[in-house]
Amino acid sequence: MLKPQANPTRELVSLDGIWNFAVASSPNIETEQAWTKSISAKLQVPVPASYNDIFVDKAIRDHVGWVYYQRKVTIPRGWSASERYFLRLDAATHHGRVYINDHFLVEHIGGYTPFEAEITHLLAPGEQFRLTIAVSNELSWDTIPPGRIEELPNGKRKQHYQHDFFNYSGLARSVYLYSVPNVFINDITISTDLLAGGVGVVDFQIDTNQPVENERIKISLTDEDGNVVAKSTGQNNRIEIDSAHLWQPGAAYLYQFNAEILSDGDAKILDSYELSVGVRSVKVQGNQFLINNKPFYFTGFGKHEDTPIRGKGFDPAYMIHDFHLMDWMGANSFRTSHYPYAEEVLDYADRHGIVVINETAAVGLNLGIVAGVFGFKAPPTFSPESINERTQASHAQGIRELIARDKNHASVVLWTIANEPASSEQGAREYMEPLVTLTRELDPTRPVCFTNMGHATVEKDLISDLFDVLCLNRYYGWYSQSGDLDAAEQALEKDLLGWQEKYGKPIIMTEYGADTQSGLHAVCDVPWSEEYQSRFLEMFHRVFDRVDCVTGEHVWTFADFHCTSTMFRVDGNKKGIFTRDRRPKSAAQVLRRRWREQNRAAQ
Ligand code: BDP
């Protein structure tokens, strides 16, 4: 699915800004039909932003169900009958329904992937209309991530879910109106590889909205100096570049891939689309993760899209600042835990050579985690009453939409199809295996993983053989052996050696971290102190350096983030190396020293 772009053949109008806002009066929005009326400007919200923390109102913040966003939009007067126009939402978390004046246009479930619909037939150039977007934040056993709603005795509804981060909702990403010509490029799929002798390969497939003869599709590839290095034609083809300038971690290089549809006869450019393409290869071989046939060691973080006030709202200032902090630390990669991030993040990673492990929103497919902590017996995770085939169908759809959106990003080297599913429970294999097959069918070029949680030990886990890389989330010294780093060190090493021995595949520690209150200091091993977080990380690093299969370390987490309040989460999850407002804790120095040293050694 192509990101809309403005170019000589296409126009793009941003609908970001201030919208009118209202909370639905009942869970069934058909009764009030709010889109048929003007929503008052009494409450207004910025787009993009999660709405929850914008207002000073607990009822809105904790609202479960639908809210409405509304604004007036005008179709540009200059758009003509030879164009088609679309409305595009980069995300509506978790369920969006779009109305043009009184009419329903489109709906989409899944809070972190884009959707769009054509509106040419509904509106003429120059016409103004009322755009209403209803957004629901409800999570159920049918959604990804899953959840359930409890009806409380006081009549209120409470949303439960198995992940710790706050259920930020609304229009957290951009909304656009865009035009394309009548005959247009619908999609482009690029895959790249590296052949012997430094020959770079760019395989492409162009999908058009109607059949177009091969000779009318023209492709050119331009280097960063503006020189055309290759030309091609047709819907599918292969370009080979001698001595290709490769996209490398830490040293990005992007060619511009330009596709054009020419008119029959006079060869006028009818449509065009330009994509940045990094030429690189990705492979798993033995216990190594290879990028451009060289072993790559991941250093960095599991992150969240989370900032004060805007919640999960995309903010370019925070995004670029976070990337600079990662660079300052010497980190070379991150994981989009626990959902697909805004596309702008991947564009930036492509441009700056940051490696990305890209994750679906399948977090919380595990009823054992929370139950275990409270000491009660967990209900089965996979059952008709909980994670079932409808959840699996939504999960499959999430994978399709993630790959459709992100397949062309050089920075993306690995798909994580689930975070900490109950991989040792009965039903796990039946649930996951078809999803792995689907992921491989949709993208045969990238390896696939899931993140394993500590309870699903190497003896109990039922699914790891299906995957290319072992991604382990471990909390020795925090949730177990808390405060005892010697015992934690032994347990961690034994655990990792077990996985190494059984599979011999690359292991990435995709989470390891300790909650830390910034400013709390202690001489001894006192959990929550800054010193403890530093020593905790150092302990993990000693073990990583002793286990050959370890090919990466992603600390949990980049910055403190907001959670649903519980007794375990005092004003959020505090495992950040940075506070929520991006001030470093002492442990930043531990990582910075280690990663910069590793980077120097690799040069
Ligand atoms: C892991 C989850 C992550 C949590 C983390 C924690 O993958 O989302 O935030 O634990 O407890 O299980 O901090």
Per residue, what are the HEC states of 273-294? Answer: EEEEECCCCEEEECCEEEECCE
Query: Is the CB of 164 inside a 6 Å radius of any atom of ligand 1?
Result: yes
Q: Is 113 within the bounds of a domain? A: yes
Closest by Cα among 215, 197, 198 to 206: 215
pLDDT in tens, 435-467: 999 999 999 999 999 999 999 999 999 999 999
pLDDT of residue 160: 94
Looking at the structure, tell me whether residues 189 and 316 fall in a common domain. Answer: no
Looking at the structure, tell me whether residues 75 and 159 fall in a common domain. Answer: yes
Looking at the structure, tell me whether residues 353 and 494 fall in a common domain. Answer: yes
Query: Is the CB of 119 inside a 6 Å radius of any atom of ligand 1?
Result: no
Looking at the structure, tell me whether residues 596 and 535 fall in a common domain. Answer: yes
Boundary (domain end) residue, out of 245, 280, 315: 280
Phi and psi dihedrals of 310, rounded to 5?
-85, -5
Q: Specify the pairing of strand 199-208 against strand 185-195.
A: antiparallel
Among 452, 472, 556, 566, name the best residue to mutate to test ligand 1's pocket (greatest count of ligand atoms within 8 A of Cβ).
Answer: 556
Does residue 488 surpass a pLDDT of 80? yes
- Tell me the average pLDDT across 374-393: 90
Boundary (domain end) residue, out of 162, 180, 198: 180
User: What CATH number is associated with residue 150?
Assistant: 2.60.120.260
Q: Is 352 within the bounds of a domain? A: yes
Boundary (domain end) residue, out of 149, 180, 211: 180
Looking at the structure, tell me whether residues 122 and 191 fall in a common domain. Answer: no
Of ligand 1's listed atoms, the one at least distance from the Cα of 568 is 11
Query: Is the CB of 287 inside a 6 Å radius of any atom of ligand 1?
Result: no
Instruction: Name the DSSP letter for residue 163.
Output: S
Residue identified by tokens 């409890």 is 150
Looking at the structure, tell me whether residues 200 and 329 fall in a common domain. Answer: no
Q: Is 124 within the bounds of a domain? A: yes
Query: Is the CB of 515 inside a 6 Å radius of any atom of ligand 1?
Result: no
pLDDT in tens, 314-327: 999 999 999 999 99
Looking at the structure, tell me whether residues 460 and 598 fall in a common domain. Answer: yes
Q: Is 1 within the bounds of a domain? A: no
Q: Mark 502-526 as b/e (b = at least 16 C-beta within 10 Å).
A: ebebbbbbbbbbbbbbbebeeeebe
Of ligand 1's listed atoms, the one at least distance from the Cα of 369 is 12
Q: Specify the pairing of strand 255-262 against strand 269-277.
A: antiparallel
Q: State in Å: Cα 372 to ligand 1 middle.
A: 14
Q: State in Å: Cα 164 to ligand 1 middle.
A: 7
The tokens describing 333, both together, are 């990669």
The tokens describing 23, both together, are 């909370």
- HSE of 129, CA atoms in CB hemisphere, 13 A: 24
Query: Is the CB of 560 inside a 6 Å radius of any atom of ligand 1?
Result: no
pLDDT in tens, 88-118: 999 999 999 999 999 999 999 999 999 999 9
Q: State in Å: Cα 473 to ligand 1 middle.
A: 8
Query: Is the CB of 562 inside a 6 Å radius of any atom of ligand 1?
Result: no
The tokens describing 112, both together, are 């972190």
User: What CATH number is associated with residue 209?
Assistant: 2.60.40.10
pLDDT in tens, 170-228: 999 999 999 999 999 999 999 999 999 999 999 999 999 999 999 999 999 999 999 99
Task: Give percent of the chain above pLDDT 90.
Answer: 94
Which residues have CB under 8 Å from 493's CB, separation 6+? Answer: 543, 546, 547
The Cα 64–Cα 76 span in angstroms is 36
Which residues have CB under 8 Å from 226's CB, separation 6+? Answer: none
pLDDT band at 532 (very low <50, low <70, confident <90, very high): very high
3-state SS string for 287-349 = CEEEECCEECCEEEEECCCCECCCECCCCHHHHHHHHHHHHHHCCCEEECCCCCCCHHHHHHH
Looking at the structure, tell me whether residues 421 and 497 fall in a common domain. Answer: yes
pLDDT of residue 372: 61
The Cα 329–Cα 595 span in angstroms is 7
pLDDT band at 347 (very low <50, low <70, confident <90, very high): very high
Contact status, residue 398 vs residue 144, Cβ threshold 8 Å: yes
48 prior amide bond cis, ω within 30:
yes
Q: State in Å: Cα 561 to ligand 1 middle.
A: 11
Residue identified by tokens 């520690």 is 509
Q: Is 2 within the bounds of a domain? A: no
Range of the domain at 245: 185-280
Looking at the structure, tell me whether residues 233 and 150 fall in a common domain. Answer: no
Looking at the structure, tell me whether residues 333 and 254 fall in a common domain. Answer: no
The Cα 515–Cα 576 span in angstroms is 7
Distances (CA, A) of 205 to 52, 115, 407: 41, 21, 12
Closest by Cα among 147, 61, 137 to 370: 147
- Looking at the structure of the chain, the number of domains it has is 3
User: What CATH number is associated with residue 438?
Assistant: 3.20.20.80
Q: State in Å: Cα 395 to ligand 1 middle.
A: 20
Q: Is 507 within the bounds of a domain? A: yes
Question: What residues does 230 pair with on adjacent strands?
Answer: 221
Catalytic center residues: 420, 511
Phi-psi sector, 517: left (phi>0), alpha (psi -120 to 50), beta: beta
pLDDT band at 568 (very low <50, low <70, confident <90, very high): confident
Query: Is the CB of 333 inside a 6 Å radius of any atom of ligand 1?
Result: no
Does residue 376 surpass a pLDDT of 80? no
The tokens describing 248, both together, are 């490398």
Q: What stretch of H or E contains 486? A: helix 485-503
Distances (CA, A) of 72 to 39, 66, 115, 375: 11, 20, 20, 53
pLDDT in tens, 491-510: 999 999 999 999 999 999 99
Question: What residues does 357 pair with on adjacent strands?
Answer: 335, 414
Which residues have CB under 8 Å from 591's CB, separation 6+? Answer: 299, 329, 330, 331, 537, 555, 577
pLDDT in tens, 37-57: 999 999 999 999 999 999 999
Phi-psi sector, 541: left (phi>0), alpha (psi -120 to 50), beta: alpha
Query: Is the CB of 307 inside a 6 Å radius of any atom of ligand 1?
Result: no
pLDDT in tens, 414-441: 999 999 999 999 999 999 999 999 999 9
Looking at the structure, tell me whether residues 235 and 375 fall in a common domain. Answer: no
Distances (CA, A) of 526 to 197, 511, 522, 556, 557: 55, 21, 6, 19, 19
Q: Is 3 within the bounds of a domain? A: no
pLDDT band at 230 (very low <50, low <70, confident <90, very high): very high
Q: Specify the pairing of strand 355-359 against strand 412-419.
A: parallel
Q: What is the mean pLDDT of the chain?
A: 96
- Report the SS3 class of residue 177: strand
Q: State in Å: Cα 515 to ligand 1 middle.
A: 11
The Cα 119–Cα 104 span in angstroms is 11
The Cα 354–Cα 341 span in angstroms is 14
Among 161, 162, 164, name the best residue to mutate to test ligand 1's pocket (greatest count of ligand atoms within 8 A of Cβ).
Answer: 164
Of ligand 1's listed atoms, the one at least distance from the Cα of 479 is 11
Residue identified by tokens 């985690």 is 369
Q: Is 134 within the bounds of a domain? A: yes
Looking at the structure, tell me whether residues 173 and 259 fall in a common domain. Answer: no
pLDDT of residue 375: 66
